[in-house]
Amino acid sequence: MPASVPFPQPAMTGRQQQQPAGSGRSLTPLEIYSRLEKSNCGRCLLPGCLAFAAALVAGTRKPSDCPALSESERDELAQALRPRSSSPSHLQADFLDRLEEKIRAMDLAAVAPRIGATYANGLLTINSLGKDFHIDHLGRMTSQCHIIPWVRVPLLSYVTNPTHRLPTGNWISFRELEGGIDWQGLFRSRCETPLRELADDNPELLSDLVELFSGRTVQLFAADINLVLHPLPHFPVLISYQAPEEDLASNLTMLFDECCGSNLHIKSAFTLCSGLVRMFAQITRQHT
């Protein structure tokens, strides 16, 4: 691995300024950084020690992910971080821990063909929207793309899901997925409605997604565009959009192959879809 560019040394250094383990105040990235080796070795799969410190605060990494820390230092740091354990980011980190534990108990080579992935050189490779993500036997993920929680959690959840079906070509609503009824209102407000508004304001957006994310258009429903994306190999999503016309409002529906309910837990399915919509919104902001 190429040597990382060193981060600037923060003003606060030395163990005398560490956060007491019993304090109720949350640690800052700089306070965590002061406890680290500061070598930017990259063995945690992040660019450097300051990035690792920020990931600890965000709950997307844990102290044991740093090989340079001794067992006692890891325990001490975990204890210092514990006051934030009830925050959403740390609840997510706990969920990631459980997913990684499941990964460690799995035969990834045997799982790969079942879920539409490949396995080589100790890495499970999953294609998401035309981009490859690699998972090792410890559940650590690497990619040429930036890895954020809304990508990482659904990918690991997909790999560890106890059931799996191949796509059928039959499309159903989010509500019809297993557990979807309870999430339908939130799905509509966080996914379908904001995506419809994005498409209204950016008429070329959905067409652009075909090229950007290895999608394809299909002729299934009466709409201006029917776009199929594969955020996971066996998790096809159909976006059907009808633009506004005269007195008629626009309409957008997201449909799912009926296999999706067997291949991903409904909460992870929602996390994946809402993350996609946020990413599409970011794309439109960057091009306006």
pLDDT at 197: 96
Angstrom distances, CA of residue 230 to CA of 135, 213, 260, 267: 18, 8, 11, 18
The label of the residue with tokens 């500061």 reads 38
pLDDT at 288: 62
E strand intervals along the chain: 118-120, 123-128, 131-135, 141-143, 171-173, 216-217, 225-232, 235-242, 251-257
pLDDT at 11: 35
3-state secondary structure (DSSP) of residue 257: strand
Find the radius of gyration of the CA atoms of the chain.
Answer: 21
**In the chain, what are the domain boundaries?**
15-84, 96-160, 171-286
pLDDT at 155: 96
Cα distance between residue 12 and residue 22, in whole Å: 20
Range 15-84 classified under CATH 3.40.50.300: no
Cα distance between residue 141 and residue 86, in whole Å: 25
pTM for this model (two decimals): 0.69
Is 10:26 a contact under the CB 8 Å cutoff?
A: no
Cα distance between residue 198 and residue 168, in whole Å: 29
CA nearest to 103, candidates 85, 87, 119: 119
132: which DSSP letter? Answer: E
Q: Which helix (H) or strand (E) is 252 found in, with range?
A: strand 251-257
Pick out the chain residues at pLDDT < 70. Answer: 1-26, 82-92, 288
Angstrom distances, CA of residue 124 to CA of 27, 213, 257: 34, 21, 24
pLDDT at 86: 47
Q: Which helix (H) or strand (E) is 82 found in, with range?
A: none
Please enumerate in sequence order all residues whose Cβ is within 8 A of that of 37, keeping only pairs 6 or more positions apart, or say none.
49, 66, 68, 69
